[in-house]
């Protein structure tokens, strides 16, 4: 088993992990400014690159991590790339088990990062509405989030800008993410999953930055995007769903569920994915069927260890 250097500010610390709260609250200074929250320590994670599916199974066993231990929490585990021999697993149930267990920690970690951004936005705006202006440092952080999620406007004074940003800075149900990853990557066995760590079929239009599909029509320049790690692919996919105009319906549905204080369910949000595939409604139906058949809603209330 290869233990690799930390990526994305994730640090190898062993098998037990503790994550401090992202936002420690604001202190009201005499100038009535909102001070930035104390900087958090980087979230700890075990970063591995298994060379076979047997090695991947051993990693899970060493961390007491399996489908029947999820109630005890999910370890913060980053698998850099899927083993190349997943397709050699004869039992479909075992291939699915390894695939879900591999992706689930990273889905929860990516959602945790998004939730931290959302919490920061809501905390600062709430404080501002109570008469406490954000400091220059906090303004800079909010502008960074705005830029990342492609939202313009004055968050402090423009209600439409606030709504637009909060519609985008929100988590995605693990059931939806896992179903799409399985569908787009053929359970991690596709050419693009193996060679490019691309589990979601994302394209790039910059020649040389991805892999040319074998059946790409003549005259087209798109490539299937290449990622350094699976986690990079996951983060890119989530940002794409949260920002691209093609998935506005999904975000509107999610916002309505939030307003009604209902849980976010992958089957409902999948209705907003008609533009994800040329198969449109048939694709949506297939994703919903995968969620139901594999009972992926069971992952809805699962949390990371130490969170």
Q: Would you kindly state where each structural domain of the chain is located, as residue ranges?
A: 2-299
Would the pTM count as exceeding 0.75? yes
Average pLDDT over every residue of 38-56: 79
Place of tokens 């951004």: 117
In tens, the pLDDT along 225-257 reads 999 999 999 999 999 999 999 999 999 999 999
- Residue 148 binned pLDDT confidence (cut-offs 50, 70, 90): very high
Q: Which of 235, 287, 236 is nearest to 265 (CA)?
A: 287
Q: How many CB atoms lie within 10 A of CB 19?
A: 19
Task: Decide if 114 contacts 149 (C-beta within 8 A).
Answer: no
Query: Is pLDDT at 192 greater than 50 in this prediction?
Result: yes
Secondary element (H or E) of residue 203: strand 203-204
- Residue 42 binned pLDDT confidence (cut-offs 50, 70, 90): very low
Query: Is pLDDT at 30 greater than 60 in this prediction?
Result: no
CATH class of 2-299: mainly alpha
What tokens were used for 77? 């585990």
Q: At what angle do helices 174-185 and 92-129 cross, to 10 degrees?
A: 140
Report d(CA 195, CA 82) in Å as an integer. 10
């Amino acid at each position: 088993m290869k233990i690799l250097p930390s990526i994305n500010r994730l640090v190898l610390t062993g098998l037990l992990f503790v994550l401090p709260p992202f936002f420690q609250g604001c202190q009201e200074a005499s100038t009535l400014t909102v001070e930035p929250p104390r900087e958090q320590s980087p979230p700890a994670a075990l970063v591995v690159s298994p060379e076979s599916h047997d090695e991947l199974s051993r990693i899970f066993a060493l961390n007491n991590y399996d489908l029947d231990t999820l109630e005890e929490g999910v370890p913060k585990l980053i698998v850099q790339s899927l083993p190349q021999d997943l397709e050699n697993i004869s039992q479909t149930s075992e291939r699915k088990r390894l695939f879900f267990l591999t992706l689930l920690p990273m889905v929860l970690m990516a959602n945790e990062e998004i939730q931290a951004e959302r919490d920061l936005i809501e905390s600062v705006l709430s404080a501002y509405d109570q008469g406490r202006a954000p400091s220059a440092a906090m303004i800079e952080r909010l502008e960074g989030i705005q830029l990342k999620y492609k939202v313009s406007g004055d968050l402090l004074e423009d209600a439409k800008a606030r709504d637009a940003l909060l519609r985008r800075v929100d988590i995605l149900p693990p059931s939806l993410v896992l179903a799409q990853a399985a569908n787009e990557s053929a359970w991690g066995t596709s050419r693009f999953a193996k060679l490019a760590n691309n589990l979601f079929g994302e394209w790039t239009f910059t020649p040389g930055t991805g892999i040319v599909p074998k059946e790409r029509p003549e005259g087209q320049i798109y490539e299937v995007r290449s990622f350094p790690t699976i986690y990079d692919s996951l983060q890119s996919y989530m940002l794409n769903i949260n920002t691209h105009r093609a998935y506005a319906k999904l975000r509107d549905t999610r916002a309505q569920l939030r307003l009604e204080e209902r849980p976010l369910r992958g089957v409902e949000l999948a209705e907003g994915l008609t533009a994800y595939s040329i198969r449109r409604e048939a694709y949506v139906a297939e994703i919903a069927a995968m969620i139901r058949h594999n009972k992926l809603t069971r992952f809805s209330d699962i949390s990371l260890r130490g969170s």
